[in-house]
Each structure stands twice: as structure tokens, then as C-alpha cells.
Chains A and B, each alone.
Chain A
Amino acid sequence: MRETAEFCLDSLARAGAEKSQAVYVKSRKHELNVETGKISLLRTSFSTNIRLTAIKDSRRGTVNLNLTDKTSIEEASKNALEITRASAQDSAYDISQKQPQAEFDNNIEKPALDTMYEKLDSFLSEAKRLYPYIMFENLIVDFSRRTEYLLNSNGVDFKSSGGIYNFVALFTAKDGKKTSSFNYSGVSLKNLDGKFLSRGSINTLLQQSSGQLDPKGINGKFTGDIIVTPDCLNDFLSFITDQSIGDGAIIAGTSVYKDKIDKKIASSKFTLHSKPVSDEIADGYHVTPDGFKAENQTIVDKGVLKTFLLGLYGSRKTGLKRAPNSGGCYIVDPGDTAFDDMVKSVKKGILLARVSGGEPNNNGDFSAVAKNSYYIENGEIKYPISETMISGNIQKMFMDIKDISKERVDFGNVIFPWILFPGLTVSGK
């Protein structure tokens, strides 16, 4: 693979690139699929991808191809230069500077295919016994092993390899004509130890869906507390991480957090890390797409925004600091309140387990339908709800955080607690 990656750089140079980057990825995936409750498909996919980026005269172009022979690479390199010549000039285009050569590997080489099958079969039997109303629309267990070379003309030379198991389930409860909302969850794993049922939030959600065949609507409208579950938290967190502090929103100047570095954007109870190279995260990464060795970082420290998630281009375009990683692998620090005590503290509100809603607007205003969720009254979870809408402002929600749970769920790629947000509008029919 190294020879091919080096050939890519040579080829881009011969085609006329002043600066270049080549990323060559090879992966193999083994995937077991369950459809309508039965194991139905074993899929093996072998894939390759080469991403060539050329810079010349402050112009940039990128070509992706999945053939790896020399003729295809040479043709793609010429193509990359043609695209580069078509580009507008921008002095912010660049590649990462030289860093020490490095190789990373989690040494998970091959799938335990028989174990994957047996664990999946046992999971289906146990789930059927414990939760007879559950129907799995789709369930996937896979193992992927991926090797990536990232080389550039400044001498950057990174190799990262790793294997990971993933378990994802999409399910509904059905009893006669009664159907629950669908729900889903997943987890990334370094090994197949233990039961799938006990990983992430799988068991909790199957149990909840089984009891959601008779949801009730809420009459009228009220302002109340919302406890957002770990499965649902990213729907709100992504307003900060994906929508507001990345290259796009900061370059465009549309982010509500554009002037908030070292300022408060959340309650002091809230601390958010991005830890792609931590042992806490099963499915991390070691190299950013723009060619830097990734490091862990704290994005929000006790409510204070410490960094944007700017890549190399965004950083050069805005003159602001480049982030030490490209986001993801989020960990929210736990609070000091037990989940049960959190529920007891709610006079009137919702346990929000999933939302169906559009992206919030750039200001953070959102409205979304609560799915697989529960009405809470006087400190007790009363009943599952239907046709209930939640609305509010996400900026304000994070500023107003009332409590964060002690307990957290480890999904393998993120680790999240339950968070209690007060003062949201809940409207029924």
C-alpha cells in the first residue's frame, strides 16, 4: 500500500502539483444482517479508495477513485490538476506541515465470524423470549478492518489501521393492530465479550418499546422540564459541534458562537471533550482528514467555549486557531445527580428518548416531535406519549442546564449522560 500511496504523490507532482496530499484507504467488511427478525444475509465487501488533492497557484482540486492501478492513478492525477486549474485562487488552500512519521494500529485484525453469528443468534433468541412484541426491521452486526496511508508533499507520512465491531438495531413493537414508533440504537465494540443485549442502551430501549404500544397524547400546552436521554443527546449537541463551530458556520459568519471563544455558552455543569485517541473511545481515529496527528481536546470546559472545530482551511481562512482534531468521539462529563433523583425533581415534563425533527435554524430555534418518550408528573414517569411536540432554543437550553446524571452510556464512539433542560414548550394535540 505504501508504494501505491507514494506513487500517488509522485504522479501528482509529475502532473504539475506544487503541493499535494494522497490518502489511500483499504478496508474489508464482514456484515451479518437480520431482516424481519431472521438472520438473512452475510455480506463481505472489499473496498479501496484513493483521495488525491493538488494545489497549484493557490488553486485546489480533489479527485477520488477506487481503482489502484498505476494507469488509473496517473489519469486521476492529471484530472486533479485539470480541476485545480478550474478552481478559484484562494491563499487559504494548503496542506499540513511536516510532522514526525507515525503508525497506529489497534491490532484487531480479523473477525471472529462464528462468534459473531452465535452472539447474534443468541441475542435474537433472548430478545424474543424477553420482549415478544419486538420486531426487528433491521439488525446488523459487522466487523471492519481499515488501513489508511496519508502522505503529503511536505513529508507527512501517517499509517493508521484498526478493526472494529458494530451492532445496530432498528425495531418496533407490534401486538395485533397496535404498533409502537420504531426506535434504534447501536454500539461500536473492540471485542465480542459479553452479550449484545447488555451493551450501550439496547436492553433499555427494547424494554421501553415493548411498553409503548398504547401511547397517549397530551392535551394542550405547557412549559416544563425535559430530560434528554443519552440516545437523544446528540440531536441537541450537534447544534454546537456540527452546525455552529465548524468551518462552514465560522467562515460564513452565521454562527451564534462566532465571538464566544473563552466565553460562557453553557451552564458551568457542562463539560464536553472530543477524545479520538482516548482508551475510553472504542471507535476513535489518529489522523485528521487534512493531515494532522489527532489529539484529544476539551471543547466546552465548565460551560466556557474553548475552541472552534476549524480544520486547516477554516483556520487559514479566518485567521483563527486550528482545532487539534476533526471532532467526533464526544464525551460529556457526568454530573452528580442519580437519574432516578433527576426524574423525582421534575414536576411536569418529558423524558425525551428520541426526536423527529429538522435541523434547528442557525439561531438554535427548533421544534420536533417527541418519539419513544414519556410524560413525567410529580417526579414519576407516567406513560408513553404520542403526537407531542417540543420546542425551544438550543443555545438557551445549554445555558439553562439544571442537572447532569451520574450515569452515562458508552456507545463506543461517544459517551453521554442524561441531561435535564428546564423551560421547554411541550404541546399536544
Chain B
Amino acid sequence: MIEKDLDKYSKLFSLYTELRFQENKNTRIVFLNGNLIANEKNTAGGVSARVCKNDAWGFASNPQRSEEAVKSVIKTATENSTFLNLRLKRPKTALPCVSFSSENSHATTKSRKSQKEYVDFVKEIDSHIAGKYKDLKSRTVIMSTLDMEKSLITADGSRSYSMIPRTILVIVLSSEKDSKPVELYEVYGGPGQFEDVFDGNPQSHIFSEIEKLHGHLMKKSEGVFPDAGNRECILDADLAGILAHEAIGHTTEADLVRGGSVATNFMNKEAASPLITLIDFANSSFGKPCPVPIYIDDEGTRSQDTVIIEKGVLKSYLHNKETARHFKTAPTGNARAYQFSDEPIIRMRNTAILPGTSKLDDMIASIKDGYYLMKTGNGQADSTSEFMFGITLGYEIKDGKLGRAIKDTTISGIAFEVLKTVSMVSNEMKWSCGGMCGKKQLIPVGMGGPAIKCRVNIGGK
């Protein structure tokens, strides 16, 4: 466990300073066609300090966690800030002062399993797939865990300790059609350590999910190219979640707003259909913990839910202390760092569209000729909110009924325009728990939503 009480170090602060201890522990086990190709345990931790004078920031990190290392990082970060301050010659400024204390651990209270038990668990799933699904060309089963433990003290009086774990299982199935590979994958698991995520979920539950995945793969191997063009589609929860995160969420990160993002044109204006409310949840939603619960950010600001779009109107950006001061508002607790050696930057936490009132069956029934798009392989978006998501699983909708599966394709559009075309929102909400967002640093994020009916460009023939 990392050092929790950092009070004794505050006397070393001479300027605005954040001091953080952090350790990330992860495990990675990979079976490829029954071969164990990765069996790893990794630990990376250390101490870092960030110092600011007149918006000249200095940062330093060290993997050692001794008192000497703490003194060294505070000294180097202070020197770095001074180096810039002397050259930049900016007027005197101060950051908003926040003070909050928080201690939250999501570590399991059950006895921990051994690496062998983890490997056996993954191997049993692999063997089950090999034994039952003889029509597969290839299979990959990956289990990865991440325990992120942090303690923080800031010059303005915030103190925190957190241990936020996540356990993910990824299953990739591949078949062959006309000598060409057809692939599909799914992510299972979520917040918590292995013992809490999978102990209560017997493998029979995972096996039933694999059965569904295999069924989709077989249909996909007979899949057809979509008819390319601007089409009426239902984006299932995975797609709605990634749309919320990639195409809207990023454009409202205040550092990207200052960097020219298109969201600046929509503040307090219509940005989506009135059916759309989009929130970046801090730590819980609908009475349950979110996939990545954040109680306090790495600048010491209390993390609070941020309503980005309310009934179609853009209401807020996501802030750290510096952008909050620039936009004359309060920081929202979105400054997060991935490794001990990373400085906090503005990141989303758990971004989701809120559920509506429609039933999925009625939404499908309402479409004469379109697509039901279920799974995405990845997604990217632009400062203009133009987005592209790979579609790995989807079905035709013909006369209100699901038809043939479609081959891998891509959807694209301008998110602020696509969201204006939303005409139905389902009443069921699902979280996707395996998200890893990249923006200078990686960071775990949650994405979620209901199914939404909208018009979007789909690739194909």
C-alpha cells in the first residue's frame, strides 16, 4: 500500500504545489488458440509534484517513494516552474482555491486469488470455447486487471486517498468464410477486483454470453455489405456511449475548447434533439457506482456530475482549475493523471446519454429500411465533432424487422448534427466498462447510454 498521510510534506511547499503518491498494478493473461502468450504482473509507482507560479507549471516525478525522493521532486518541479516563470514573464495570477478531503477504496474484502487461479480461470474459458465451437478458426481470451491507488495533498488543503480497481475479460472469436477471416469480440467485467467481478458471476454466465457472441459471429460470417449512404439507424448502447464520449465529450473538454473545438459555437444553444441529455458522471449514477468512480480529481477538486447537454442545450464544459478560471466558472473535478509520472489533464470520467421512454422493439419496428448497429471496434472524433466509428456488429432493418447481419463497416457524421436527428431514445441504459481513452496519456473511462434512433452515414457498397 502507498503512503496515505502526506501532511508532513506540506511544509516543503513554497508555491502552489500538488504532491501525489501513486501505484498502478496490472495483470495480463492472454491465451491465443490455447497458447498462453502473455502471463504478466506489472507494478509501476512513485511520487510526483506539480508546482505553479503565474501559470508557469513545473512537474517532476521519481519512482522512489522515500522522503528524499519527495524532497527531490518538489525541488525539481519548483525549479521547473521558476525556469518558465522567469522566461514567460506573465502577470501575477492565482488558481481557484479548493479544499476537499476524500478517502475511497474499492478494494475487495474477499481473500485474494493467486495468479495460478487467474490463469486457470482464463484457461477454462479458452478450453470451453475450443471444446464447444469447432467451427472457429481462431480464438483469443484476454484478462487484464488494473488497480490504481493514489494519495494526494495540495497547497490549498485538499487531501485524498483512493484505490480504484478494474477487471476486464476480452474474448475474440474468428471464423472463416470463403477463405476470408471474420472476427467479433466482446468485453466483459468492469469495476472491482477479480474476486468481486467474476466470483459472483459463475462462468456459466460468461459461457452464455459466449454463446450469444458465437451466434452473432455465425450470422456475421453470412453478412452482407450495407447499402452505403445517409441512413436511418438505431445505435445501440455501445455506440451511443462512444458517440457521447468521442464526438461530444472531447469537444467539451475546456482545454480543447480553448484549442479551437467547435463546441464553443453551441454554449447555451441547441446542440442536439431535446430528447438528449448527456452527463459526465463522477462516481455514481442511478444509485450504483459508475465504471470508473472518481471522488476527487488529481488537483484536489471534488468530482461532481457535469451536465454537458440538457434537453438538447449545451450547458457546460469539463474543467480543471486553470480553464475554470479562464471561463469564470467552478472546476468540475475532471483533472486526472494515469501514471505517477503523468501530470493531471482534463479527462472525462463516465460519460453517458440518459435513457428515454421508448422500447427498443418499438424503435426497430418504426424503421422501414435501415440498420441496427450494436458493436463498435473503435472510434475517433474531431474538433469539428465529425466522428468515425468502426462497426463490428449490426443487422439490417427491413419493414420494422431485423434482417441479415452486416459485414464490418464504418459510420460517420457530424455529432452535433446527428444528435439533432435523434427521434427516439430507449428506456434501457447500459455501461461499457472497458474503455481506455487516449489524449497524451491513456486513462480508464466509462461510457454508456440507451439505444438512440438517428440518421447517420454508413459505409458499404
Contact = CB atoms under 8 A, between A and B. Distances in A.
Interface of A: 33, 35-36, 38-49, 60-68, 79, 82-88, 90, 92, 113, 117, 121, 135-138, 140, 172-174, 177, 179-182, 221, 247-248, 251-254, 256, 313, 317, 356-359, 361-363, 365, 367-369, 371, 386-387, 389, 391, 425, 427, 429
Contact of A254 (B40, B114, B181): B181
Contacts of A92: 35
Interface of B: 31-46, 48, 55-64, 76-77, 80-81, 83-84, 87-88, 114-116, 118-120, 123, 137-138, 140, 174, 180-183, 228-230, 255-256, 258-262, 265, 341, 343, 377-378, 380-384, 386-390, 407-410, 412-414, 440, 457, 459-461
Given A88-B36, A181-B382, A253 B87 contact: no
B386 A62 contact: no
A120 B460 CA distance: 44
13 contacts: A35-B259, A40-B57, A45-B61, A46-B60, A60-B39, A65-B42, A66-B43, A88-B119, A140-B440, A172-B259, A173-B260, A429-B230, A429-B457
Nearest to A68: B63
A317 B40 CA distance: 19
Contacts of B80: 41-44
B138 A62 contact: no
A117 B373 CA distance: 49
B405 to A, nearest CB: 14
B40 A64 contact: yes
A85 B116 contact: yes
Contacts, number: 240
B217 to A, nearest CB: 13
A86 B261 contact: no
A317 B182 CA distance: 24
Given A253-B137, A363-B181, 8 more contacts: A42-B83, A43-B59, A46-B62, A47-B63, A90-B36, A181-B383, A182-B383, A389-B228
A359 B410 CA distance: 10
Given A252-B33, A358-B410, A136 B84 contact: no
Nearest to B87: A117
Contacts of B83: 42, 113, 117
B63 A46 contact: yes
10 A-B pairs with least C-beta separation: A358-B390, A137-B259, A86-B116, A367-B459, A362-B181, A174-B260, A64-B42, A42-B80, A172-B260, A41-B57
A42 B388 contact: no
Contact of A64 (B44, B387, B459): B44
A181 B407 CA distance: 28
Given A357-B388, A358-B410, A359-B377, A87 B459 contact: no
B459 A44 contact: no
A117 B457 CA distance: 45
B380 A35 contact: no
A87 B46 contact: no
A305 to B, nearest CB: 18
A214 to B, nearest CB: 12
B60 A361 contact: no
B41 A79 contact: yes
A35 B40 CA distance: 36
A254 B138 contact: yes
Given A36-B255, A313-B37, A181 B386 contact: yes
B342 to A, nearest CB: 9
A182 B385 CA distance: 10
B245 to A, nearest CB: 15
Contact of B258 (A36, A48, A117, A386): A36
Most chain A CB atoms below 10 A, which of B64, B407, B410: B410
Given A82-B114, A252-B138, A253-B138, A387 B382 contact: no
B59 A42 contact: yes
A391 B45 CA distance: 44
A47 B341 contact: yes
B33 A251 contact: yes
Contacts of A45: 48, 59-61, 341
A181 B414 CA distance: 11
A46 B73 CA distance: 10
A87 B386 contact: no
B410 A387 contact: no
B89 to A, nearest CB: 12
A180 B259 CA distance: 11
